[in-house]
A and B are shown apart, each in its own frame.
Chain A
Amino acid sequence: MIAIATASQKGGVGKTTLCINLAYSLARRGWRVLLIDTDPQGGVGLSLAKSTKAREGFHEFLIRGGDLNKIVVPTRLPELEILPAGQYDTCARQGWSVHEVPGRLADLLRGAELRGVDVVLMDTAAGMNGTTEAVVKACDFVVLPQQAEPLAIRSVPHLLETLARFRAEGAGVRVAGILLTMVMREQEMSLKVARELREMLPSNLMFQQSIPRMPSFLEASALGVPVALTKRNPPPEALIFDQIAAELEQRTGLSKQREKEHGHASLLD
């Protein structure tokens, strides 16, 4: 099992959209995926179902631990399960010890592994402090969505500096890649930002695929589904996340693992 966090300094860069759609794509590609919402805003739950607002979830687990199996929410896709954010305000009133968070996160990941999960995908709050820092440090990989606009891009050095600090502090988390999001193909400035970042950073640090800003993502949020489910047959933009999932499999070694297990498939015999 591998644990992957998404993280960014800036809010509103599309982390939750990425997490929901990426989790769906990975699950469709045969991995057992647990999507965990660690963001107090509970964006994952809000995006997918009204009922998750009242459910216990990640923050309750942070406070008292317990049986992960009782708080995981299944989806109609058997390979995809969700752990919603839970009742952050209630939990915050009770308070939790910062020092206990790493241990609880380790318990959480162990519980996921016992459930047979292949990939834990963790959506985080914007910024790199508090719980988000602990979440990123607990993960094997971090995906860094970067909005393709000047102000967001300027936070990249700060973000990398923070990750360098994590490594210096002994965290084993590795960067799966920087993923350009909300690219406006009709806006020269947005394209210029994307080009600059690609020119400055090594290619293996950047996802080849980027996520454009498209109305269909709004439509998916309104319907409470991944983009692939907005139409009977997945629309072209849903394939963007399949491409990202495939890249992620390679970048994290997941595909290697599967090849080791199954080898290549033959079309006929």
Chain B
Amino acid sequence: MAMQVSWIDADRLKALVAQIMPQEPCEDEAPQAVEIETVPDAVSMSAIESWNAAMDWMEPVTAPLPAAEVMETEPAESLQPQPECEEPPKFLAESPEDNLENEDDHGMPLHNPAAALPLSRIRDKLRAIRQRATEAGILTRVSDAAPPSAPEAAMQAPIDVSSPAVADPVTPLPHTPIFEIPLGSRDERLAAFAAWARQVLHEDGGHVLVMSDE
């Protein structure tokens, strides 16, 4: 191409463009966000189904811990690598929101196919909490119990931190509150669970991380 007018060295320009245009994914084929199923979605289920699903969350104390089904992520296809862009990557396909997501704890966006690492970490943490709860005898099957009517019912018995049973991972705590999932909205159920978990974990300095996938 003749360059009588602009006098610009096309090669130099190309090199500069490469420096200011980082590789970005195609906008149309951007990976979908991976949704972490925290609690069953009451809206999409009948009350009974919802309750049963909630109860599935509770495993018997003696049962071996399965892989954390409760915190299962989306089906595997959402973690599959997305098809590669046929065209050169869109220069500005990345939205400002994506930047915010990039600033999560692990520096890995959840919508990124490579987000398996943070997800597995989250799963591990949740599994550890669950295991601790099981060992302390506070995670019990409540399928035979009558459905609770209010979140408060789940929190009626405070933990006696002075009890020697707390130190014994085998003996169930006599005053350990049983978490019974209340009926109500997702937020109400999540709040009830968080309050229960805080109560249970407080004595050994544990922390509760409440996550909402909304």
**In the complex, which range does the number of interface residues on chain B fall in?**
20 to 34
Beyond A204-B88, A252-B92, whether A189 also contacts B5 by CB under 8 A is: yes
Is A202 an interface residue when CB atoms closer than 8 A count as contact? Answer: yes
A residues near B (Cβ < 8 Å) are 1-2, 140-141, 150, 153-154, 156-157, 160-161, 163-164, 167-168, 172, 174-177, 189, 192-193, 196-197, 199-202, 204-205, 250-253, 256-257
A residues less than 8 Å from B8 (CB atoms): 153-154, 156-157, 196, 200
Q: What are 7 A-B contacts defined by CB distance under 8 Å?
A: A156-B6, A160-B16, A160-B19, A164-B16, A174-B91, A175-B20, A175-B92
**A153 adjacent to B6 (CB under 8 Å):** yes
**B95 adjacent to A253 (CB under 8 Å):** yes
**A202 adjacent to B91 (CB under 8 Å):** yes
Is B111 an interface residue when CB atoms closer than 8 A count as contact? Answer: no
**A176 adjacent to B96 (CB under 8 Å):** no
B83: shortest Cβ distance to chain A, in Å? 19
Q: With A168-B19, A174-B92 given, can you name 8 additional A-B contacts, CB distance below 8 Å?
A: A2-B96, A157-B9, A174-B20, A175-B91, A196-B1, A202-B91, A204-B90, A253-B94
Report the nearest B residue to A150, measured CB to CB: B5
B residues less than 8 Å from A140 (CB atoms): 96, 99
How many angstroms between the C-alpha atoms of A50 and B115 in the bound complex? 55
A93: shortest Cβ distance to chain B, in Å? 37
B residues less than 8 Å from A202 (CB atoms): 17, 21, 88, 91
B residues less than 8 Å from A196 (CB atoms): 1, 3, 5-6, 8
Beyond A196-B3, A256-B27, whether A205 also contacts B17 by CB under 8 A is: yes
Which 4 A-B pairs give the minimum distances between C-beta atoms? Answer: A253-B95, A164-B19, A160-B16, A204-B91
